[in-house]
Structure 1
Amino acid sequence: MKKRVLFIINPKSGVSRKHNIPELISSYLDDVKFDAEIKFTKYSGHGYKLAKEAVHDGYDVVCAVGGDGSVHNIGMALINADTILAVIPTGSGNGYARHFDIPVRIKQAILTLNQMKIRQVDVGMLNHKYFLGVAGFGFDGHISGKFVKRKKRGIRGYILLVLKEYFRYGQQEFEIEFGNGRVIRQKAFMASIANISEFGNSFRISPFADAQDGKFELILLRKPNLFQVPFILRDFFKGKAHTSRLVQTFRFEEAKISTKSSRFHADGEPVSLSNPIKIRVQPKALQIVVGENYA
Structure 2
Amino acid sequence: MTRIHFIVNPISGKGKHNITETHIKTFFPSEEYEVFVHLTQRKKHAIELTQQALAQGATIIVACGGDGTIHEVATELVGKEVIFGVVPVGSGNGLASNLAIPKDIDKALQLIRKQNIMAMDVGMLNGSYFFSNMGFGIDATIIEQYEKSGKRKLGAYIRAALNSAQQYKAKQMRVTYNGQTKVVNPLLLFISNSNEMGYNMSLTPKASLTDGLLDYLMVPKIGILKQLTFGLYVVLKKTEKFRRTDYIQTSKIEVEISNSPKNGVQIDGEYCEFDTNHFVIEVAPKSLKVIC
- Aligned-partner Cα distance in 1 for 2:239–2:253: 22
Q: Separation in 1 of the partners of 2:38 and 2:172?
A: 44
Q: 1:74, CA displacement in angstroms?
A: 0.7
Q: Which amino acid aligns with 1:183?
A: T
Structure 2 residue aligned with 1:76: 75
| Cα displacement (A) at 1:23 | 4.7
- Any unmatched runs of 5+ in structure 2? none
Q: 1:283 aligns with which of 258, 267, 285?
A: 285
Q: Is the 8 A contact 2:252 2:280 kept in 1?
A: yes
One-letter code aligned to 2:163: K
When residues 222 and 22 of structure 1 are mapped into structure 2, their CA distance, relative to the original with a 3 A threshold, is farther
In the alignment, structure 1 segments of 5+ residues that lack a partner are 291-295
8 A Cα contact 1:195 1:216, kept in partner = yes
- Tell me the equivalent position of 1:136: 135
Residue 210 in structure 1 maps to residue 211 in structure 2: no
**8 A contact 1:16–1:90 mirrored in 2:** no
Q: Tell me the equivalent position of 1:293.
A: none
After superposition, the CA RMSD in angstroms is 1.9
Match of 1:111 in 2: 110
The Cα shift of 1:115 comes to: 1.4
- 1:198 counterpart SS class: coil
TM-score, normalising length: structure 2: 0.91
Shift in Å, 1:219 = 0.7
Calculate the TM-score normalised by the size of structure 1: 0.91
Q: What is the DSSP-based 3-state SS (H/G/I as helix, E as strand, rest coil) of the residue aligned with 1:149?
A: helix
Count of aligned residue pairs for this structure pair: 288
Q: Is contact 1:202–1:237 with CA below 8 Å preserved after alignment?
A: no
Residue in 1 that maps onto 2:271: 270
Greater mean alpha carbon deviation, residues 281-290 or residues 180-189: 180-189
Aligned position for 2:59: 60
Residue 5 of structure 1, CA deviation: 1.0
**Distance change >3 Å, CA 135–CA 81, structure 1 → 2:** same
Alpha-carbon displacement from aligned partner over 1:128-165 (angstroms, at most 9, x marks no partner): 21111101111111222232333221111111121122
Residue type at the aligned position of 1:18: H
AA in 2 matched with 1:265: Q
Q: CA deviation at 1:33?
A: 4.4
Aligned to 1:177: 176
2: CA distance between counterparts of 1:231 and 1:25?
46
How far residue 233 of structure 1 moved from its aligned partner, in angstroms, is 2.5
**Cα distance change of structure 1 residues 120 and 20 upon mapping to structure 2, 3 Å threshold:** closer
1:10 offset after TM fit, Å? 1.1
Identity of aligned residues (%): 27
- Residues 1:15 and 1:157: Cα distance change in structure 2 (over 3 Å): farther
Partner SS state of residue 167, structure 1: helix
Superposed CA deviations along residues 237-277 of structure 1, whole A, max 9, x for unmatched, are 33211111132212111121011462202111222331210
Q: Which runs of 4+ in 1 moved over 6 A?
A: none
Separation in 1, partners of 2:221, 2:23:
44
